[in-house]
């Protein structure tokens, strides 16, 4: 059985993330979505909430589980029995950082391979940080995230717009 990890902060999960995940499930028997913390990033949602949003977004995918990433990705891959790390690439600018990370992971554990999937063209421009920014200014993010994620963004960033209107 080929088990792979798809790791990220997923803050929040976008249709771009789901594009990579849905394509990866066709290549591997099982995918573990590993939700981590990046010390260089400040997250909008706590890890548990990001995991819940991912579980709901992937509810129709039988061979996908969502777990917390407790530390180094290659250590988690070894513990989970995953020989592959799946990474999504949107543009050439992503490649340099991803190549560096994949090379470091390979130095730490040569038995873990990294597989890059190009994001579908309709999501090349999409990032969670752009979605957070649009949502913070009250913009429509419905084309970029599932409805339950859009609602969570409204509750978190614009609570006054997420609450039902009071009768007059």
* Edge-to-edge strand ranges of the sheet holding 113-118: 64-68, 30-35, 3-8, 84-89, 113-118
Domain at 3-159, CATH class = alpha beta
The length of the chain is 168
In this prediction the pTM is: 0.90
Q: What is the pLDDT of residues 47-97, one digit of tens each?
A: 999 999 999 999 999 899 999 999 999 999 999 999 999 999 988 778 888
Residue 143 pLDDT = 96
**Domain assignments of the chain as residue spans, ordered by start:** 3-159
Q: Looking at the predicted structure, is the pLDDT value of residue 167 above 60? A: no
Q: Give the residue from 34, 6, 53, 23 showing the smallest Cα distance to 120.
A: 23
Q: What is the pLDDT of residues 96-109, one digit of tens each?
A: 888 999 999 999 99
Average pLDDT value over all residues in the chain: 92
């Amino acid at each position: 059985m080929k088990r792979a990890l798809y790791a990220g902060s997923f803050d929040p999960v976008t249709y771009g993330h789901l594009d990579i995940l849905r394509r990866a499930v066709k290549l591997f028997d099982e995918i573990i979505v590993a939700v981590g913390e990046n010390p260089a990033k400040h997250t909008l949602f706590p890890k548990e909430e990001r995991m819940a949003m991912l579980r709901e977004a992937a509810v129709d995918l039988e061979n996908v589980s969502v777990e917390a990433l407790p530390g180094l990705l290659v250590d988690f891959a070894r513990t989970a029995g995953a020989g592959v790390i799946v990474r999504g690439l949107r543009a050439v600018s992503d490649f340099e950082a991803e190549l560096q990370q994949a090379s470091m992971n390979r130095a730490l554990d040569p038995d873990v391979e990294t597989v890059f999937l190009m994001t579908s063209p309709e999501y090349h421009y999409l990032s969670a940080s752009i979605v957070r920014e649009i949502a913070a200014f009250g913009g429509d993010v419905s084309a970029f995230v599932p409805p339950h994620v859009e609602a969570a963004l409204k509750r978190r960033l614009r609570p006054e717009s997420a609450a039902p209107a009071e009768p007059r």
